[in-house]
Structure 1
Amino acid sequence: MCPVNQLLKNLGYDVVRTIGEGAFSKVKMATSEKYQRDVAIKVLDRRRTPEMYSTKFLPRELEILRTVKHPNIIAPYEFIDVSNGLHFIVMELCFTDLLTIIQDEGRLTDTKAKCLFQQIVSAVNYLHQHHIVHRDLKCENILLTKDDKVKITDFNLGKLLNSTDLCTTYCGSMAYASPEVLQGNPYDPKKSDIWSIGVILFVMVSGTFPFDDHNITALPKLQEKGAAFPKDLTLNENCKSLVKTLLHYCPHHRPDIGAVVEHSWLKGSLNQPE
């Protein structure tokens, strides 16, 4: 048994398998004696991460996860700090993620896309109201339970903002990054989050990405031309209007999350925090 798994076992968690791996962390599925259920455990090792991550980004992630409480944001059960630089975040276990669903099943129906996107918007609305930005919103970070409850995860690039903070750190995944982030300009991180959920919605309803991200230097030009839906795609006009608004090239012309909540395609049944 590997040392980390043995350590977790000593803490009451029997590791079943590794279910995810990022640049600086692993996520393990484990059975918990304490919680009498399967859980996900994010394993972070400060000894193997760049200094900037361990001193800047990791503390932010831990602070955000300790602060937020919303039904569509992943809920941590426990934070465990081990003296040798290991950190364990014990979280609820989800069934799959949005990208996997779309890869397996293709584009979502209007009804299912609306149901899931309402939950995403509800969570982002909560975050922005509490002056928190995610900065890495993407389909892989939208987890789903077996009954299609959305759980946004992975806050390692998240940030608590002062009122009008502009950011300069390149954040996120290229396919979901806004034009201003890609061009290295100071950016409003809330408007950048809006762009990212626009890409997510496009992927949900079309089954494809709005822009070819293989060439980073060409990508901003493609973004400036605007997203083009597949010609054979039949799509609700209100939904199409929302996507185009979210993916407006100029951040000043993108709506804030409060306006997204009020959009005609979504109006009506957003989840509220408990």
Structure 2
Amino acid sequence: KLATAERHPKPVAIKILKYRNSEEIAILKTVRHPNIIQVHEIFEMPNGNAFIVMEAAEMDLESRAIKEIPIDKIRLWFFQLLSAVDYLHQQGIAHRDLKCCNVLLTADSQAKLTDFGIGCFFKYFPDLCDTYPCTPEYAAPEVLNQIPYDPKKSDVWSLGLILHEMLTGRLPFECTSDLPLSEPCRSIIQSMLQHEPSDRPSVNKLLQHPWLQSTNTPHFTTL
């Protein structure tokens, strides 16, 4: 819900948690990054509900992805998203629900990650994660198969699906044939969508991929 408040010069969004999610609130209190939605205040009520006051955005990436996005915008937004997830992983936090509708776009064309409802502090895990909340369309194979998993690597799988959707408007399983993506685009997507989690790169390594460093890589190859 959008609202205005005297102490905040710009409109704010208010998220209402019907049943207080202590881990989500702990994550929101911990994170500070330019590409993670900024939380201004959190009101925890005696009845277990919570109200989260955060910066407002114009739209989410899912709404934007139904139209063709210029390649430079895709590269910028995906780089910003990777930066946010890399920061989370360095803090010992996994998002676990990365998808286009959880990436917000601001009026000044910045991508902002939001919704930590099933996020977790993996630094407290003795080994691999053995809980499996997810959005099935974006979930890694090991999560869908309920095999104990490294949540950092499952985040990388979801990032690969997001980039594919940004580039094509569709998830890979919605495509009936190979799309003519440029080789650098294909390379970075394939690296993230490796079936074996250990074969997927870290988010920090993805930030150094040649496709993200290029300023003139075409969206599609010339046919």
Q: Is TM-score (shorter-chain normalized) higher than 0.5? A: yes
Residue 172 of structure 1 and its aligned partner are, at CA, apart by 1.8
Matched position secondary structure for 1:83: coil
Question: Shift of the alpha carbon at 1:35?
Answer: 1.0
Aligned amino acid, residue 265 of structure 1: W
Query: What is residue 116 of structure 1 aligned with on the other side?
Result: 77
Q: Give the secondary-structure state (helix, strand or coil) at the position aligned to 2:42.
A: strand
Residue number among 152, 159, 163 corresponding to 2:120 in the alignment: 159
- 1:19 matched residue in structure 2: none
How far does the alpha carbon of each residue in 1:36-90 deviate from its partner, in whole angstroms, 9 at most, with x for none? Answer: 32100011122xxxxxxx4xxx111111111111000011000112223321110
Unaligned runs of 5+ in 2: 216-223
Q: 1:257 to 1:41 in 2, by over 3 A?
A: same
Matches within 5 A, 1:259-270: 259-267=205-213
Q: CA deviation at 1:208?
A: 0.9
CA shift digits 1:7-36 (9 cap, x unpaired): xxxxxxxxxxxxxxxxxxxxx111112213
1:71 is paired with a residue whose SS is coil
| Alpha-carbon offset, residue 164 of structure 1 | 6.3
Name the counterpart of 2:3: 30
Larger of the two Rg values belongs to structure: 1
Deviation of the 1:160 alpha carbon: 1.0
Aligned partner of 1:254 in structure 2 is 200
Among 134, 142, 145, which residue is 1:172 paired with?
Answer: 134
> CA contact under 8 A between 2:122 and 2:129: conserved in structure 1?
no
Whole-Å separation in 2 of the counterparts to 1:109 and 1:251: 31
Say if 1:229 and 1:239 are closer, same or farther in 2 by CA, change over 3 A. Answer: farther
Aligned with 2:38 (options 50, 62, 75): 75
1:53-202 to 2 correspondence within 5 Å?
Answer: 54=20, 58-103=21-66, 105=67, 107-162=68-123, 165-202=127-164
| Cα drift, residue 253 of structure 1 | 0.5
- 1:164–1:86 Cα change, 3 Å: closer
SS in 2 for 1:200: helix
SS in 2 for 1:211: helix
User: In 2, Cα distance between the equivalents of 1:172 and 1:30?
Assistant: 29
Q: Percent identity?
A: 45
Indicate the residue corresponding to 1:25 in structure 2: none
* Separation in 2, partners of 1:204, 1:180: 24
Partner SS state of residue 108, structure 1: coil
* TM-score relative to the length of structure 1: 0.74
Q: Secondary structure at the match of 2:8?
A: coil
CA distance in 1, matches of 2:47, 2:116: 23
Which contiguous aligned blocks of 4+ residues in structure 1 show a shift greater than 6 angstroms? none
Q: Kindly report which structure 2 residues correspond to 1:231-246, keeping only aligned pairs within 5 A, or say none.
A: 231=178, 233-246=179-192
Structure 1 residues 164 and 113: alpha-carbon distance in aligned structure 2, compared to 1, 3 A threshold: farther
Q: For the residues of structure 2 that align with 1:133 and 1:86, how far apart are their CA atoms?
A: 24
Alpha carbon RMSD of aligned pairs, Å?
1.8
TM-score where L is the length of structure 2: 0.90
Q: Assess if the C-alpha contact under 8 Å between 1:135 and 1:189 holds in 2.
A: yes
* Corresponding position of 1:16: none
Which letter does structure 2 place at the counterpart of 1:236? Answer: S
Count residues with an aligned counterpart.
Answer: 214
1:206–1:229 CA contact under 8 A, matched in 2: no
